[in-house]
Amino acid sequence: MRAGKRVIVPFHPGIRSTSYRRKIKKRPTNTIGVVVHTLHSHFIRSALTGMEEVAGRLGYEILIMHSQENKEKEVANVQMLFDRQVDGLIASLSFGTTSLDHFNIFLNENIPVVFFDRVATTGNNRSVVIDNVGTGYAATHHLIQQGCKRIAIITSHLERNVYADRFTGFRNALHDHGIAFEDDLLFVKDVTEDAGMEAAGQILNMRKRPDGLFITSDLVAAACMRSLMEHGLQVPHDIAIVGFNNDPVCKVTAPTITTVNYPGVEMGRVAATQLINTIVKKDYQPATRTAVVPAGLIIRQSSLKNPQFITERAGG
């Protein structure tokens, strides 16, 4: 196979082994393992593109497995890639993952692991992230700047770092602008189209509806916005909306969706570069090394209650 080629390895739940096969390895395989929580995500596909770009340039192939948001599958994925004798591992954690013990088979053999996007917040780990607190703050600040006074957040599992941090940024922005957080304005959902429609239904049934929404997934944002508009609400006049990820759907909705740019390709490049540099340098000392990739707000129609002011400042 040519360097940089993407290979998706099927999941086999029955595969288990000891580290014996690893111990007889005599030479590098020039292969990197990648474990992701889904393949049905624009962000993940973009990140894989960035990894392939770097891997191909540096003479590595990548083997990809996905956990489908299931911890047990993630554990089996990690074991299988260990058995395939990859030289290093890149991983984005599933919703259900609370312990990193299954990665110890790599770390105990001095095989480097780099986490990206969904990462552990404890221990000595190499990680690649964006500033989720800062971007959550920026999204909420923008809605407040547009005149929103009752802002809801639709997010996902708060046990996972990305959603917990975006929620922290949301609350910090409210606090800094003297707006009290209200429990009924927090909606914790899955990252699906159905979740967006379900949240819209709850909002429509509220006696006092929000005038702004920060939604931490563009897919959920698009579905929620469509459902709200089908029931007569005007976006952004009645309710302003900011999403997260900069998925392609944001540009084809009417109105187009303001969002946070999630630079998947660049995150993939940084994760692969960090991992391969570690492999080449044999830098196995445990240490917390976090690379923060820049991300920012992309202002479009869905949030512009005061378009002239923001358009001039944001450049369109």
User: Domains of the chain by range and CATH?
Assistant: 6-130+263-285 (3.40.50.2300), 132-261+297-314 (3.40.50.2300)
Query: Which stretches in the chain have pLDDT values below 50?
Result: 1-2, 12-20, 311-316
Separation between Cα atoms, residue 187 and residue 215, nearest integer Å? 9
**Tokens in use for 86?**
């990859």
Residue 108 DSSP SS3: coil
pLDDT on residue 6: 59
User: Could you read off the pLDDT of 37-92 as tens digits, one per residue?
Assistant: 999 899 999 999 999 999 999 999 999 999 999 999 999 999 999 999 999 999 99
pLDDT on residue 25: 54
pLDDT on residue 137: 98
Which among 132, 153, 134 has a CA at the least distance from the CA of 267? 132
pLDDT on residue 1: 44
Calculate helix-pair angle for 218-230, 193-204, nearest 10 degrees: 40
Separation between Cα atoms, residue 13 and residue 173, nearest integer Å? 44
Degrees to nearest 5, angle at CA 269 with 285 and 98: 55
Separation between Cα atoms, residue 163 and residue 4, nearest integer Å? 31
Separation between Cα atoms, residue 63 and residue 296, nearest integer Å? 31
SS (H, E, C) 259-295: EEECCHHHHHHHHHHHHHHHHHHCCCCCCCEEEECCC
User: Could you read off the pLDDT of 118-134 as tens digits, one per residue?
Assistant: 998 777 789 999 999 99
pLDDT on residue 98: 87
Helical segments of the chain, H only: 20-23, 42-58, 71-83, 104-107, 132-145, 161-176, 193-204, 218-230, 249-252, 264-281, 307-314
